[in-house]
DNA sequence: TCTTAATTCAGTCAAGCGCCTTAATCCAGG
DNA sequence: CCTGGATTAAGGCGCTTGACTGAATTAAGA
C-alpha cells in the first residue's frame, strides 16, 4: 500500500483523483453498485487495481472520503462551538450541529456529491458502524451533546439520544435530497443552502424542545396523546 | 413470466418465499450487494433464474416487496384517517402518518426486516423514484397532507413540503435504526414499538408546528435566528 | 549522473454474475 | 387416466469482478 502521501507527490495526486471519482460515483449510484475497477478507471488509472494499491479495500476508500471532508467540517464546528459557548439557548447549539455542514456544502463548488455520498455510505450496512464511530470521536460534537444535555435536564436520556439520532438523520438525508434535486435540475424546496440550513435548525430545535409524552414503564398508560378513537368501524 | 398467482398455487408459494428471502437479504446487506442468484437460492430454488422468471428484474422484485406490505399499511392508515377526520389538531394527523406503520411493524412476528429493507430501498438511487411514486398514489396520505395544509395555512408551501419530507425520513430511518438494534441484540432507546411511535409523533408534530424563520427572498436578511456571533477568533 | 524505492501499466486468473435454454416435474381440466 | 400449460431443475455462455503479478516508468536523493 502507498504511504499516505499527503501532499502533491505523484501518488498523492492520484489518491485525490481516486477520492474525487469515488465520491461522485458512490453518490450517483450507491457504494455497492460501483466496482473498484470503475473507480480506478474514472480516476484515469490504467491499472484496475489502483484502488486496492492506494486504499486496500472499498471500506477504507469510503472512510478516506469521509475523513477528508470531516476534517473541514470539524474545523468549522469548532469555530461555531467557540462562538456559542456559554449560550443557554437550545437553538444556538443546534446551530452548531447544522451550520458547519451546510456552510461547507455551500462552499464547495457545484456540482457537489458529498451529501448524497454520505447518505449512501451511512445506509450501507457494512459502513454504518465505522462512520458513526468517527462521528462519536468528534470532540466538538461531544460538547454540543453535553450542552444540550445541560439545557434539557428534565428530559429522559433515552429521549435525548433518540432525538440526537433524529437530528443526524434529518441533516444527512435532507441535504442529500436537496443536492439530488439540485443535480437533476428539478425544483428545490429552498432557494439556497443557507435557507435549507435555517429550515433544518427550525425543525431540529423544535424536535429537541418538543414535550415528550411520558411512556409508562410497562403496560398500557393513561394516554399516548392520541385523539379519541376506539374502533372506527 | 408467471401470472400473478395470488393464492396458494405452487408458483404462488415460491413467489412468497422469494419475497421473504429478498426482504431479509436486502435488509441485511443492502439491495445492490445481493444478487438475484443469492435470493433464488435463499428461497430454496435450484434454478438460479427464479427471480427473473417470477419477477423479471430486481427492481420489480423490490417493488413487489414494497407493495405487499404497503397494502396492509394503507388499510390501517385508512382506519386511522377515518377516526381522525374532522380533527383540528395537527398531532392527530401526524398520528395517522406514524401509527399505521408502527403498528404494522409491531404486529409482524419478530425478527422483522421491513424497516431496514425500506430504508435500503429508499436510499438506492435507482429505486427511490418508483417507491416514492407509489407513496404519492396513496389516497390516505393525500388526505393527511391536505389536512395538514388546512391546519397550517400560514405556512409557506415550501416549508410544508420540506417538513413532510422530514417526517418521511424520520419515520423510515428511525424505525430502521430501532429494528437494527433489536436484531443485533443491542440497546434500543425505547422499550417497545408503541413507545417508538409516541416519540416519533412527539417529534414530527413539533416539526410541523415549529415557527418557520422567514427567509428573505434574496440577499442577506435581518437575521437567520443565529446567536450573536461574528468572527469568533 | 546514477540508484532506488514508489508508482503506474498491462495483463492473468478463478469466481460469481445476469441471462438464457432444455429437460424434467407438477397438477388442473377434460 | 391423460394431457398440456405452468413451474422447477440443471446447467451453459459471455462478461465483469476482486485479487494478484511482473515489467515499465517516475522522480528524489546520493
The percent helix, strand, coil of chain B (3-state, each to 5) is: 65, 0, 35
Give the A:B interface size as CB pairs under 8 Å: 169
- Does residue B133 fall inside a structural domain? yes
Count of structural domains, chain B? 1
Q: Is residue A137 part of a domain?
A: yes
Indicate left, alpha or beta for B219 from its phi (over 0: left) and psi (-120 to 50: alpha).
Answer: left
Residue A185 lies in a domain: yes
Q: Is residue B31, in this structure, part of any structural domain at all?
A: no
Model confidence at B216, in pLDDT bands (50, 70, 90)?
A: confident
Is the pLDDT reported for residue B233 higher than 50? Answer: no
Q: What is the pLDDT of residue B119?
A: 98
CA A200 to chain centroid, in Å, comes to 13
| Burial classification of residue B46, based on how many CB atoms lie within 10 Å of its CB (0-12 exposed, 13-18 middle, 19 or more buried) | exposed
- Cell numbers at B176, concatenated: 430502521
Residue B80 domain flag: yes
Whole-prediction pTM value?
A: 0.91
How many angstroms separate the CA atoms of A123 and A31, rounded?
A: 10
Residue A173 at interface with chain B, using a CB cutoff of 8 Å: yes
Check A210 against B203: CB less than 8 A apart: yes
pLDDT score, position A205: 98
Spatial separation of the C-alpha atoms in residues B145 and A25, rounded to whole Å: 35
**pLDDT tens readout for residues B92-136:** 999 999 999 999 999 999 999 999 999 999 999 999 999 999 888
Q: What is the pLDDT of residue B46?
A: 94
Percent of chain B with pLDDT over 70: 88
Kindly state whether residue A217 falls inside one of the protein's structural domains: no
pLDDT average per 10 residues of sequence, chain A (233 residues): 52 89 97 97 94 96 96 97 97 98 97 98 95 92 97 95 97 98 90 97 98 75 44 34
A111: preceding bond cis by omega (within 30 degrees): yes
A3 vs chain B: nearest CA distance in angstroms?
30
Q: B229: how many CB neighbours lie within 10 A of its CB? A: 15
**Model confidence at B11: pLDDT above 70:** no
CB < 8 Å & 24+ apart, contacts of B5-14: B11/B54, B14/B43, B14/B45, B14/B50, B14/B54
Residue A53 CA and nucleotide D22 C1' are separated, in Å, by: 15
Say yes or no for a CB contact (<8 Å) between B190 and A30: no
pLDDT tens by residue, B133-156 = 988 899 999 999 999 999 999 999
CA A8, C1' C2: Å apart? 25
Tens-place pLDDT, residues B20-63: 999 999 999 999 999 999 999 999 999 999 999 999 999 999 99
A13 touches strand C (CB under 7 A): yes
Alpha carbons B8 and B5: distance in angstroms, whole number = 8
Domain-embedded: residue B38 = no
- How far apart are alpha carbons B14 and B8 in whole angstroms? 9
The count of other CB atoms within 10 Å of the CB of residue B223 is 10
Domain membership of residue B93 as a residue range: 65-209
Region for B158 from its dihedrals, namely left if φ exceeds 0, alpha if ψ lies in -120 to 50, beta otherwise: alpha
Catalogue the long-range contacts made by A139-142 (C-beta closer than 8 Å, 24 or more residues apart): A140/A74, A140/A77, A140/A78, A140/A80, A140/A81, A140/A96, A141/A77, A141/A97
Q: Is the CB of B4 under 7 A from strand C?
A: no
Rounded CA-CA distance A81/A40 in Å is 39
Amino acid at each position: 500500500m502507498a504511504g499516505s502521501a499527503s501532499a502533491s507527490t505523484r501518488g498523492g495526486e492520484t489518491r485525490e483523483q481516486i477520492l474525487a471519482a469515488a465520491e461522485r460515483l458512490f453518490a450517483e449510484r450507491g457504494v455497492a453498485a460501483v466496482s473498484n475497477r470503475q473507480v480506478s478507471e474514472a480516476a484515469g488509472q490504467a491499472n484496475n487495481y489502483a484502488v486496492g494499491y492506494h486504499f486496500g479495500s472499498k471500506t477504507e476508500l469510503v472512510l478516506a472520503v469521509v475523513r477528508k471532508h470531516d476534517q473541514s467540517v470539524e474545523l468549522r464546528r469548532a469555530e461555531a462551538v467557540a462562538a456559542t459557548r456559554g449560550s443557554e439557548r437550545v437553538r444556538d447549539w443546534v446551530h452548531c450541529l447544522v451550520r458547519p455542514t451546510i456552510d461547507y456544502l455551500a462552499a464547495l463548488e457545484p456540482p457537489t456529491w458529498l451529501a448524497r455520498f454520505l447518505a449512501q455510505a451511512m445506509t450501507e450496512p457494512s459502513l454504518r458502524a465505522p462512520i458513526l464511530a468517527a462521528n462519536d470521536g468528534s470532540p466538538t460534537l461531544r460538547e454540543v451533546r453535553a450542552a444540550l444535555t445541560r439545557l434539557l435536564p428534565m428530559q429522559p436520556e433515552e429521549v435525548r439520544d433518540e432525538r440526537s439520532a433524529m437530528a443526524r438523520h434529518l441533516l444527512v438525508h435532507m441535504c442529500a435530497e436537496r443536492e439530488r434535486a439540485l443535480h437533476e435540475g428539478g425544483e428545490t424546496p429552498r432557494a439556497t443552502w443557507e435557507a435549507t440550513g435555517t429550515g433544518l435548525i427550525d425543525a431540529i430545535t423544535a424536535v429537541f424542545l418538543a414535550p415528550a409524552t411520558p411512556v409508562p414503564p410497562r403496560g398500557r398508560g393513561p394516554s399516548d396523546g392520541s385523539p379519541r378513537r376506539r374502533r372506527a368501524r
